Amino acid sequence: MITTIIVFIIVFGILVIFHEFGHFITAKRSGILVREFSVGMGPKVFYYRKNSTTFTLRLLPLGGYVRMAGEADDGEDELKPGTPVTLQLNDQGVVTSINTSNKHSLFQGIPLTVTDTNLDTDLYVKGYENGDETQVKSYPVDHDATIIEKDGTALQIAPRDVQFQSASLPNRMVTNVAGVFNNLLLAILVYTILGFVQGGVQSNTNKVDVMPTNSVARSAGMKSGDRIIEVNGHKTTDWEDLTVQIRSKANKKITVKVDRNGQDKVLSMKPKAQSSGGQTTGFIGITQTMDKSFKAKILSGFTTTWSVAKQLFGALWSMVSGHFSLNDLGGPVAIFATTSQAAKMGLSGVLNFLAFLSLNLAIINLIPIPGLDGGKLVLNILEAIRRKPVSQTTETVITLIGFAFLMLLMILVTWNDIERYFLH
């Protein structure tokens, strides 16, 4: 259990950090102020501030985020009239810090009750000092001034030129999809490493390598070196084709046509059933051939990523077309259970699991649902077509709807987990 927890935390951390770092670095290079880089959700466990960004570790391992100034959910610069603050001025009389917290004090700070502020364009704060409402004073605010929030966290203000919407449309589009790109890159990298760790790459051919003596395939007369060219009349040109056909036929009699040294032979067998992640699939006990060349190991990152991506897109299409039930989806508990299985398989199992999840995260984030990267990209495309951005109010509403949908989906898959692992 301890090993599983450690592996789960490491895998989760790598996935989130890689994904969010993509958003972070492209935002910074586009001149966008990044408020926070968070790993996890919920209450803060640990945080530290560097330059203008607060790096946060949060309690719940349910994702992460990069909060950029000017996004639909960003309202950190608002100082409502009547708010008591303390101002820190530099030698030129310009405000460098605005303290709203009782947990923090500013050296030689000027107490002020706010009457009006503009931290977006004109950069000023107005108010009256020491309770004297007869005289309102106005102070210019530095472009890089900070606001100390009620919990004591320092936050840099965001003038218009460093807000998300001020970046060019191409830069915003790149920033929105950079997390997906990073997860794709991580999958390719890990699958390449896996090729070297395993000493070779499983070839995506229809050729059979070794079989246990008690396997279904060997008992039916199959031999090493046979090429499986048909399963129940369906042509199989590669390993993916034949596994799809066999896995769907658990405990059902099938006919398998093989090419053995140029001669076709038809074999009959019944795949055994095996359960994994709540699903039952068929297997006949055959393994793929291994390509141990250096070239194959280097290219394995790309070939395996492409192969797995096709399977994931196929699963998405099955869901859209009604051939895949939402009850088959797994949530945090399913991921934890799969982590346990991967940990038992050693380094290769963990690497394979990490790459699969990274690719999964990349593809899911491309779905055009508000709140996901794909949804943000759709808004960018609409802006390019309309030649003007969607209004802030509309974007906020769309984002909230998307967030509500994602929360409902999370509740559903968590309930699936509870039924699958605790009620059955």
**Residues tagged active-site:** 20
Tokens 């658990």, residue? Answer: 250
- What whole-number distance in Å separates Cα of residue 419 and Cα of residue 424? 6
Chain centroid to Cα 182, Å, comes to 10
Q: How, if at all, do strands 137-148 and 154-156 pair?
A: antiparallel
Please count the other Cβ atoms lying within 10 Å of the Cβ belonging to residue 181.
15
The first and second tokens of residue 148, run together, are 């100390």
Nearest Cα residue to 368 out of 172, 166, 164, 180: 180
Nearest Cα residue to 121 out of 67, 163, 91: 163
The answer to whether the beta carbons of residues 188 and 298 sit under 8 Å apart is no
- What whole-number distance in Å separates Cα of residue 114 and Cα of residue 131? 11
Sign of the four-CA dihedral 69, 394, 39, 310: negative
The answer to whether the beta carbons of residues 26 and 175 sit under 8 Å apart is yes
Distances (CA, A) of 341 to 11, 217, 291: 14, 26, 26
Contacts for 54 with CB less than 8 Å, ≥ 6 apart? 35, 36, 37, 47, 48, 153, 154, 155
Tokens 């896995």, residue? Answer: 247
The first and second tokens of residue 300, run together, are 């394995």
DSSP 165: G
